[in-house]
Structure 1
Amino acid sequence: MTFQSNMNIKEESLSPSSSCVSSSDGSNVYMFNYPMNVGSTRDQCDTPELSDGSPPVKRIRCENDDLLTSNPETKKKLKNVVLGRRRARGVMDIPTSLFPTPISYQLTPADIEKRVRRKKQNREAAKRCRAKKKAEQDLFAQETATHAETNEKLQEEIRSNLQTI
């Protein structure tokens, strides 16, 4: 396996199918050269099974596990590692046209007017919706009060009928 000058493979091997690669900044990256059977459970992901039947290897945590975090500096390091590997194999760089930079367009006065009109319509629709919801709640509250009053009268009637019996 060949890498650019900023990556060195240590001589010692962690297991028959893994190697430790350290970059120029001192961070270690452990690479496993075997196919994993990725399962749905956490145990299967932490202890992948090897295709040759050898016992599973636990995932090794590095002291500087910065290639696993997601920040701009880490992304840049990871990109450089990937591009270095591609160059070492003689493969061309990834074309930048695959990921075009987003273009922001200036809004025309008609678009601005349309946006303002839609916001105004949305505000009015929201007011109508809130008023309708409040009216429904008030109606339900009145019906509940009416039903509670009717229920109280009926219970009083039942009590009076039970006393007369």
Structure 2
Amino acid sequence: MIVRRIVSGAQTGADRAALDAALELGVETGGWVPRGRKAEDGVIPDRYPNLRETPGEDYETRTRWNVRDSDATLILSHGPLSGGSKFTESVAQSLGKPVLHVDLAVTPAAKAAAVIREWLSGLAGDTLNVAGPRASNDPAIYPEARNIVHRILTPGQ
């Protein structure tokens, strides 16, 4: 897969890190978000383009629709999956969509990027959904996720 579009639910943490990395590199972004552009820090800022609102305010619908509308899902975390990240993995598996979880607590950024690029090379499509914990559950996820997504979108990194 050559990633031409990054989607996420634009929650704080891993989701926004992926969108920010893509925007910095001029890669198309998008995704589904809850009605009212709801996130844990209030309303999702307008600087994130191409986000579409689901009919309701629940996070589960946005997660399902982002997985459904993507070619593959990458989940980044520090430690085992829980909460919404675990739900994302479950949805991808139930829909038969490729999903990769990278535990950054045991995988350094450079190795993580290499593992992800190798995984992507065996997949078809061009749209990658990126998920992971929100900032309040993992304050360290944003900089690491942004760095890794930047690396996988930049050839030779």
Greater strand share, structure number: 2
> TM-score if structure 2 supplies the norm length?
0.22
Higher RCO structure, 1 or 2 (CA under 8 Å, sep 6+)? 2
Greater helix share, structure number: 1
